[in-house]
Each structure stands twice: as structure tokens, then as C-alpha cells.
Amino acid sequence: MPDNLLLAREGQTALITINRPQVLNALNSQTLVELEQALAEIRSDVTVRVVIITGAGEKAFVAGADIGELAALSPSKAQEQARRGQRVFDAIEQLGKPSIAAINGFALGGGCELAMACTIRIAADSAKLGQPEVNLGILPGFAGTQRLTRLVGKGAALDLLLTGRHVTADEAHRLGLVTRVVPATDVLPNARALAAELAAKAPIAMQYILDAVHRGGDIPFDAAAFLEASLFGLAFSTADMREGTRAFLDKRKPAFKGE
């Protein structure tokens, strides 16, 4: 059993809870290892269609990396740790299934980077987000400079990265850093409701959408459009496509099987 996170299944949804509330769910090496293992398990489980990631307690989603651990790293070990975190967060983005960050409190540093790796971010109205690494004399290491820039644009990203300031959930929403803002008590219920909605969609189509968006954003437009057309064609080879079109014509809800 993992020591630093909880993994539960709720129907077709997997719920991952970073469970270190005594240190505001700070990410250390062990937590990253456990998170990577949980993601591998979820990826191979065809019964799981959506993932929710949240933090234990009421104060923090993930308040950052474990500073005590970071302070002891040599330059080479720091680079290794950054690459480990990048690999784990890439695994979230490349899961082939939608992921929802249920941001129930502070999402700072590595916590903000974790949230940004998710497909959709739902934040409590009391949440605070930011990349304050500059105040420690370092910079984000888990691809925060890259995902933040892609989400909010270069100017806003540089503002947040260079000042290290925290932003409210409302400002994060205006910037495009979070997708939805809800009352704190509604974060998990809202995430669960969205997960149930997504779980009813066609899994292969969602996988292709995620692939087209993530891969397409890093290549020239013509190549990205060709990728989209290729995936569009592949979708027509699926039983889900036949079910979806037949259900539309029959005026009923489709029952997708991921086939």
C-alpha cells in the first residue's frame, strides 16, 4: 500500500488523493514514485475512464515540493529530480484518459505544476495558485515554465514566474490557469459530476482528442491538421463510432464500450 497517497475507484473514475496533510501534501521523491505507480495501474485498467487528483485535508491541494528534501540536493541530483517529476507529470498528460485536478486549497510550485498537467482544473474559490520558486533562488523544474506559458501566454507566465506571486482562484480563472471556480465544499462533488459526464463519452474518441491537442500543439499547423485527419479516420474504425451515430439517428443515449 502507498504511504503518501490514496487510490480509490468510484465506478469508472479513479480518485488519487495526495495524502500528506501534515506538510500540506508537499511532493517528495517517494510521493512521485507512488504517483507514477498509481498512474501506470490506472493506464492499464480499461474499466477506468477518468481520473481525479486532489489533496488530503482542507488547506492544500499540493503546497509545493518538499523544501527540506530539495535543499539537500546536489546540482546533478536536482536535475534528476526535475526529470523524474517531468516524467510523472507527462504520464498524467499522456494517460489517454481525461484527468481532473480538484484544487481544494494551495496549489503552489510542484502543486501548480501537477494541476497544470491535468486535463481540466476545478478550483475552490479559496484556493491560491502560483510558481513561487524564484523566492527560493530556483525555477520550476517539473515543466512549470512550459505548461504555464502554454496555458496563459508568455506575458502572464513571466509575470507569475518572475514575481513568484500567488493568485486567487478568480484571477487564475481569468488567466486561463483554471477551468472552473466553485465553492470549496463543491470541489470534489463538482469533479465527480464532471468525471461521471466524461465517463459516459466514447473513450477512444476522448483519447484521440487528447492526442490531437497535446501532440498538435507542438508541431506546425499543417502537420497537426494531418494528425487530426488521421485520428478522425481511425475513429471510423471503432464500434463506438457506429454506436454513437446509430444512437443519434435512433434518438437515444449511446452506450460506449471503448471498442
What is the arrangement of strands in the sheet containing 99-103, beginning at the earlier edge strand? Answer: 5-10, 13-18, 50-55, 99-103, 120-124, 180-182
d(CA 227, CA 221): 10
The CB-side HSE value for 54 (13 A sphere, CA atoms) comes to 24
CATH fourth-level superfamily of 5-199: 2-enoyl-CoA Hydratase; Chain A, domain 1 (3.90.226.10)
- Containing 72, the helix (H) or strand (E) segment is none
- pLDDT for 68 equals 87
- pLDDT for 77 equals 94
Q: What is the pLDDT of residues 157-213, one digit of tens each?
A: 999 999 999 999 999 999 999 999 999 999 999 999 999 999 999 999 999 999 999
- pLDDT for 182 equals 98
Sort residue 116 into left (φ over 0), alpha (ψ -120 to 50) or beta. alpha
Q: What residue ranges do the domains of the chain occupy?
A: 5-199, 203-250
d(CA 131, CA 248): 45
- pLDDT for 118 equals 98
Kindly indicate whether the domain formed by 203-250 is annotated with CATH number 1.10.860.
no
- pLDDT for 192 equals 97
Tell me the catalytic residues.
113, 133
The dihedral built from the CA positions of residue 14, 42, 173 and 202, taken in this order, carries a sign that is negative
- pLDDT for 2 equals 80
Q: For the whole model, what pTM was predicted? A: 0.94
List of the chain residues with pLDDT < 50: none
